[in-house]
Amino acid sequence: SQQEQAGFEERHLRYISLLGKGNFGSVELCCYDPLGDNTGELVAVKKLQPSKQSSMDDFKKEVKTLSVLHSEYIVKYKGVCYSMGRLSMSLVMEYLPYGSLIGYLENNRHKVNTRRMLLFASQICKGMEYLQSLRFVHRDLAARNILVASESLVKIGDFGLTKIIPCNKEYYRVTQPGESPIFWYAPESITESRFSHESDVWSFGVVLHELFSYCDINSNPKRLFMQEIGHNMQTPSISLHLANILKNNWRLPAPPDCPPKVYGMMKECWQYNFTERPCFSLLGNQIEVIMQDERDNFKG
């Protein structure tokens, strides 16, 4: 849009409320009202906390990533807003009124049945398939990073850790440890910092688990893994323990009332050997088949 070219002017951005905080800064709900007559539009503004230069570089990369992504299953980038004389910048995105998937599932358990969850899962799958087609590795696929656009549409909403896989390789190796969401990480990501489309598939399996657990705090992946690890505390670091139990083939248990075929799909995503994990297009097809079964059974 012409707005993207021009950029958003800070003086027309009116703060409404804080939507949430991340380890980068915060996201605020604002009204962009250049005419000053309240005909403006609601936008989500991601403000970088004024900190070390590196986060500004990461932030610029995130803006670059988001600005090339065009998919109905990915939150829309609208532009940037410079302030403090181009010293600080904010990322302006579409505002999704239903909020993050975690909050939505907690408050709408009654409205979300198996078919609705499978619809959400297939949309996340399609978003990831699109991301993979551009050689992006998300590295932070989790329910907390999925946004709800409507009762029948979810979008991938955060690309803070997304990296591009170099052309001559099939994976991305990170150096900086940062805030690692290790309970969503594939074993090779925990032990070798190796990230790939296959490690994104592992995380997708964990998102499926969160979905079918209604993001219930008691079945949160971190809590379930820590319960398992807690029983055999030996090595000092949690990530080594986690890698250990995964190597010994312990996996998150099936969520209550989870359809067996869906739990089977999770287990496929959690194959220890990344070459044996399904790809997103195969997962997308499997979900469509289960959705059809659910429709048939539903008719009874």
Ligand X SMILES: C[C@H](Nc1nc(-c2c[nH]c3ncc(Cl)cc23)ncc1F)C(=O)NCC(F)(F)F
Give the active site residues: 140
Among positions 147, 190, 207, 262, the unique one binding ligand X when judged by CB under 6 A = 147
Provide the phi-psi class of 178: left if phi over 0, else alpha when psi is between -120 and 50, else beta.
Answer: left
User: What burial class does residue 102 get, using C-beta atoms within 10 Å of its C-beta: 0-12 exposed, 13-18 middle, 19+ buried?
Assistant: buried
Binding range to ligand X, per CB under 6 A, among 19-27, 59-67, 222-230, 242-250:
19-27
From the CB of residue 297, how many other CB atoms can be counted at a distance below 10 Å? 10
Does 96 bind ligand X (CB under 6 A)? Our answer is yes
Q: Residue 51 has what DSSP assignment? A: -
**What is the rounded CA–CA span in Å between residue 200 and residue 141?**
7
Among positions 99, 135, 174, 282, the unique one binding ligand X when judged by CB under 6 A = 99
Please, what is the minimum distance in Å from the beta carbon of residue 99 to ligand X? 4
Q: Considering the complex, state which of residue 20 and residue 34 has its C-beta at the smaller distance from ligand X.
A: 20
Binding range to ligand X, per CB under 6 A, among 16-24, 243-251, 275-283, 285-293:
16-24
Q: Considering the complex, state which of residue 150 and residue 234 has its C-beta at the smaller distance from ligand X.
A: 150
Among positions 8, 32, 77, 95, the unique one binding ligand X when judged by CB under 6 A = 95
CA 94 to chain centre: 16
Closest by CA position to 214, among listed 98, 100, 99, 109: 109
Site residues (vs ligand X, CB under 6 A): 19-22, 27, 44, 75, 93, 95-96, 99-100, 145, 147, 157-158
